[in-house]
Structure 1
Amino acid sequence: MKPLLHQMLRALALLPLLGQTWLHSETLRLQIASGPFLPTAESLTNYVCPDWFRDAKFGIWAHWGPQSVPMAGDWYARNLYLQGHRQYQHHLEHYGHPSTNGWKDIIPLWRAERFDPDRLMALYRRAGARYFVSMAVHHDNFDLWNSKHHRWNAVQMGPKRDIVGAWQQAARKYGLRFGVSEHLGTSYTWFQTAKGADKTGPLAGVPYDGNDAKSWDLYHPPADPHDRGWYSTNRQWHLTWFRRIKDLVDSYQPDLLYTDGGIPFGGVGRSLIAHFYNANLRQHGRLEAVYTCKNSGSGEFIPGAAVEDVERGVLSGIQPRPWQTDTSLGDWFYNTQWNYRPARWIIHLLVDIVSKNGNLLLNVVQRPDGTLDPEVEQALEEMADWVAVHGEAIYATRPWYVFGEGPVRPRGGHFREDFPFTARDIRFTTRGRTLYAIALGWPEDRQIVIRSLASVPGTSTNRIQSVQLLGHPGRVHWSQTTNGLTIRLPDKPVSPHTAAFRITGRNLFPVPFETSPPPVRPDAQGRYILDAAEAELHGDHLRTEERGGRTNIGYWDRAEEWVSWKLQIPQPGRFQIAALCAAANGESRLRIEIAGQSLTRRIPATGSWDDFQPVELGVVEVSAPGVHTLSARPDAPSTWRPINLREVRVLPAP
């Protein structure tokens, strides 16, 4: 028995090595371009991001395909197979039951009959884009190019046109770098919903059309019951993904390749990147390729081997390597229920990202026929006007020593992109010895104070020589003290969105200063209005957002996170405290603490995140003058439900 047991233990110990051996042998079988890059983490970290990407700063993305047809938003091809989902209901009402009329029946309805890539690219160039990215394949497993390995493609079906090729030709014509995005890696598991059936109703148990083996080249064969991750463990699928994306890269020779997730499938994914880099190097004589992927827990992320992409979010500070935010003017695919972002939001996001060594890739939402809604065109024309004046503070710039100053301190991460910037939020960029300071608004009092550029007596630091307002032909009055650089603006705004300055001088370095908001002082009636935008946020998830044109504190999901304000109270007194709250997920309990006293009250459910209702919290007595901290906290994890908090009022009590 002992020899047999010993052999069994040895076999078990070798199982991980056998997996590595399979992966190594499969990697060796993959045909990749020869060159210095190998499909290993060590080799790929020799990558250096090209200057064209660092200089470009702003790209436009066409996240467009047959999922635009229902005009019901992103992930339609998957969610139409989820009974009870709004997109399932939409499909049932407009196209029929997914047992007979599924995703395969939507594809022929996408005709792109008014698609004019030349006109769109001219607009995108004017709006400031310096690179353009065409979606090549989404999770829906439909290739938008003349695929050699997949019959479900736009040349053979739907518009019967090479969409990627048309975009590429237009981008080259207008001098934009060209990229492609692939979302194929997750398709295998993403599409398993098509293998289901209704659980209730007259067609309960009738299989959806994804169960028909004749269409498995679109819907995929059934996955292993344990194969439910973002990326499938199916080895054959890994090789299929490699062949199709390699065909895409070889056919269109893009400058940029985007993957929706981390690097897929271990050595197979690394082989694709090595091939992309080596082929690009051979084509240009120098490496001009950019590969972007996410550091989000799906797949592999190798720092330095690629450009990090952040979906609908930003990073919190200046990064040593270039990075990219990808986001959208609306939903990812056309959706009649979504409102579009205004130009102001795009501009502020772009400036914040560029100040931190990043690029912005913006999806411009297209209708199924290929055209844009008037609101989208208007936003892009506003961008064009802004870029014409302020482009020198964006393109080919590099970060300063600090990215900026001001009360809004964006927290980094995916899906965090709504920030209540004002003219007090200032971002910095540099070009050579020129410093640009961009205020994210035009102040009503026409005065900007840049505290980072305060004078430093007795030193040669921050010897400012000139300050010019971009877009203004005349001079602006400015003065410099130990409190900062104060600039007086003209009566007429150059832009309603920003005030940008070209600053020259000697030894320009940021002067440290207190970053906490100053204490809130009482108004003429002795009231303290504690606005959400002025709060200090304590926690990684909590953040401010805009709702109904006003700022509120939201994403308050975690009971350990809290907010606070400092109050300058000149004399003792009694104060009535109230809060303006919205609670969509049920009632909650909030605790207010100030001057050693605590008030706990129930926050009633309001039914909506936008329905803010006043809540009386009680009375406190402050016995000593001075600066006091008021904090608002969840009372206890067991009683906490997320709330939106717009303001806290501290009023003199009788």
Structure 2
Amino acid sequence: MKKSFSFLLTLLITHTLVAQQHSEQNHSKYMAPSDPQVKQKLSQWQNVKFGLLMHWGLYSQWGIVESWSLCPEDEGWCERKGPYKDNWFEYKKAYENLQSTFNPTQFAPEKWAAAAKNAGMKYVVFTTKHHDGFCMFDTKQTDYKITKSPFGSNPRSNIAKEVFGAFRNEGFMVGAYFSKPDWHTNDYWWSYFPPKDRNPSYHPAKYPQKWESFKKFTYNQIEELMSDYGKMDILWLDGGWVRPFSSIDTTVSWQKAIPFDQDIDMARIAKRGRELQPGLLVVDRTVSGEFENYVTPEHQIPDHYMPIPWETCMTMGDSWSYIPKENFKSARKLIHILADIVSKNGNLLLNIAPSPDGDFHAEAYQRLEEIGKWIKVNGEAIYETRGDNEVGKQGKWVFTHKGANTTYAIYLADEGEALPANIEIGKLNLDKTAKISLIGNPENLKWTMKEGKVAVQVSEKLAKKTPNSYAYVLKITK
């Protein structure tokens, strides 16, 4: 029975992932921005390719999932643990009381920024507020914020401001993650009605004044972030169930479950954001239309090239939030993920979660250093490139291109695998003057056309002096 159940569960998960991936790749409703400044910013963002996402908040202290244990839904990711797990009201009270103990005394964002820059990351998205409503910035709209914790006496207590400043000083594009739903404010989970799920605990159409108050609260907080926290490049909005009812895609199962209209007037928010931050990229995740300037498949890599701007957001380990014992992906796997995503025309936003003390796991720094060593040699095949829709993936080879005359062929090598001595690549139309070289080595490689394929020879001498690499890159210049 156990084996049969596992098999059925595997089939169910596989079917679900396939369905989800299909929905993630169906972007017929994508609307390219018309504002010239937004278009320029979007092109800049598409060039930088590799970013850092950080989930950090009260939940880090318990080493649990970000916010979701507060949600009264019967889902695995909403499971409560600890002494109050059997009483939601007591649990929420204990969770929110974590504000009284949050004191990340090791907080030093310059250390994060330096490590991320060394790894080749070029933009950052930081959680200013997750669904639980706890603000990692000094908002004037609520006292449920980091500056009203024990860390409030620290001169760097306005954490979001410090993070944005540290990364901006290293030349990063800067983005603010902001949760549209807020499970702390009485204007979303109104205490008169206990919440039943992730949605408002009241019907917005029945209580329009309450909903208007929530819209004003949300607008004011975003206005603060766009006004008082320096130059901002990206407003990255999460909580896609907060959306106009007319925007629901009924082919997506979780969207079908949204019970009512939750329109927060994105037109007004975006207009004000761009008045304060010209060219601001607005990423209203999963809500197709003019306020989703790029799309963000979560923990998924599309199975083919996508012509629109997109970004995979993914964890370096297993969890978005800090957990004491993490299972980090290998540097090899992370580099392969980055190359695969870029070859399909996307960006990678890689999440690392700070600890309650305010630092990364030591292993996370190691991964960043390893990635950086590869990027320093091979980065030209990543940055300022676009995916290659014509050549496509061929076995372990993925491809990017820069302009009309340069193609990069990236070989995703297994552990200890050397670059093959004889290479064949199809779908490349090269004239006799084309040059092929291995990045990191100046000499040109010998190549010929063989049965419609480009046949490249790697000499034994070159193979011996080329160190084992996570991924080998051929530069092909027409």
- Give your verdict on TM over 0.5: yes
Partner of residue 311, structure 1? 298
2:228 pairs with 1:258: no
Task: For 1:308 and 1:230, locate their aligned partners in 2 and report how far apart those are by CA, in whole Å.
Answer: 25
Deviation at 1:357, TM superposition (A): 2.0
Partner of residue 452, structure 1? 426
Is the Cα–Cα contact under 8 Å of residues 325 and 361 in structure 1 kept in the other structure? Answer: yes
Is the Cα–Cα contact under 8 Å of residues 132 and 177 in structure 1 kept in the other structure? Answer: yes
Query: Which protein is bigger by CA-based radius of gyration?
Result: 1
Deviation at 1:169, TM superposition (A): 1.2
What is the TM-score normalised by the length of structure 1? 0.56
Change (3 A) 1:247 1:44: farther
User: Residue deviations 1:563-620, cap 9 Å, x none?
Assistant: xxxxxxxxxxxxxxxxxxxxxxxxxxxxxxxxxxxxxxxxxxxxxxxxxxxxxxxxxx
Change (3 A) 1:486 1:276: same
Which ranges of structure 1 fall in alignment gaps of 5 or more residues?
Answer: 1-40, 192-214, 282-286, 408-423, 456-460, 506-654
Is the Cα–Cα contact under 8 Å of residues 331 and 371 in structure 2 kept in the other structure? Answer: yes
Change (3 A) 1:113 1:397: same
Task: For 1:405 and 1:44, locate their aligned partners in 2 and report how far apart those are by CA, in whole Å.
Answer: 26
Change (3 A) 1:221 1:495: farther
Task: For 1:425 and 1:312, locate their aligned partners in 2 and report how far apart those are by CA, in whole Å.
Answer: 22
Task: For 1:225 and 1:371, locate their aligned partners in 2 and report how far apart those are by CA, in whole Å.
Answer: 34
Counterpart AA for 1:187: D
Alignment of 1:45-56 (within 5 A): 45-47=33-35, 48-49=38-39, 50=41, 51-56=43-48
Change (3 A) 1:462 1:310: farther
Change (3 A) 1:70 1:305: closer
Alignment of 1:97-116 (within 5 A): 98=90, 102-116=94-108
Is the Cα–Cα contact under 8 Å of residues 256 and 290 in structure 1 kept in the other structure? Answer: yes
Counterpart AA for 2:450: T
2:397 pairs with 1:397: no
Counterpart AA for 1:478: W
Is the Cα–Cα contact under 8 Å of residues 405 and 425 in structure 1 kept in the other structure? Answer: yes
Task: For 2:426 and 2:292, locate their aligned partners in 1 and report how far apart those are by CA, in whole Å.
Answer: 34
Is the Cα–Cα contact under 8 Å of residues 396 and 431 in structure 1 kept in the other structure? Answer: no
User: Residue deviations 1:135-160, cap 9 Å, x none?
Assistant: 10001101111101111111122422
Task: For 1:43 and 1:402, locate their aligned partners in 2 and report how far apart those are by CA, in whole Å.
Answer: 24
Partner of residue 29, structure 1? none
Task: For 2:201 and 2:289, locate their aligned partners in 1 and report how far apart those are by CA, in whole Å.
Answer: 17
Change (3 A) 1:89 1:305: closer
Partner of residue 153, structure 1? 145
Partner of residue 413, structure 2? 441
Q: 1:167 aligns with which of 163, 166, 177?
A: 163
Which ranges of structure 2 fall in alignment gaps of 5 or more residues?
Answer: 1-28, 205-210, 244-261
Partner of residue 271, structure 1? 268
Is the Cα–Cα contact under 8 Å of residues 101 and 149 in structure 2 kept in the other structure? Answer: no
User: Residue deviations 1:424-453, cap 9 Å, x none?
Assistant: 232233245211111111655724634324
Partner of residue 374, structure 1? 362
SS in 2 for 1:344: helix
> Could you say what the CA RMSD is over the residues aligned between the two structures, in angstroms?
3.4
Counterpart AA for 2:266: G
Alignment of 1:448-597 (within 5 A): 449-453=423-427, 462-463=431-432, 465-489=434-458, 490-505=463-478
Q: How many residues align?
A: 407
Change (3 A) 1:362 1:448: farther
Partner of residue 283, structure 2? 292
Change (3 A) 1:498 1:350: same
Is the Cα–Cα contact under 8 Å of residues 145 and 153 in structure 1 kept in the other structure? Answer: yes
Task: For 1:290 and 1:99, locate their aligned partners in 2 and report how far apart those are by CA, in whole Å.
Answer: 37
The farther-off stretch of 241-250 and 135-144 is 241-250
Counterpart AA for 1:61: L
Deviation at 1:340, TM superposition (A): 1.0
Deviation at 1:483, TM superposition (A): 4.5
Change (3 A) 1:431 1:294: same
Is the Cα–Cα contact under 8 Å of residues 80 and 91 in structure 1 kept in the other structure? Answer: no
Counterpart AA for 2:283: T
State the structure with bigger RCO (CA 8 A, min sep 6), 1 or 2. Answer: 2
SS in 2 for 1:88: coil
Counterpart AA for 1:112: P
Deviation at 1:111, TM superposition (A): 1.0
The farther-off stretch of 489-498 and 385-394 is 489-498
Partner of residue 388, structure 1? 376
Compare the two structures and name the one with the higher helix fraction: 2
SS in 2 for 1:326: strand
User: Residue deviations 1:390-431, cap 9 Å, x none?
Assistant: 111111112334362224xxxxxxxxxxxxxxxx23223324
Counterpart AA for 1:172: R
What is the TM-score normalised by the length of structure 2? 0.75
2:191 pairs with 1:221: yes
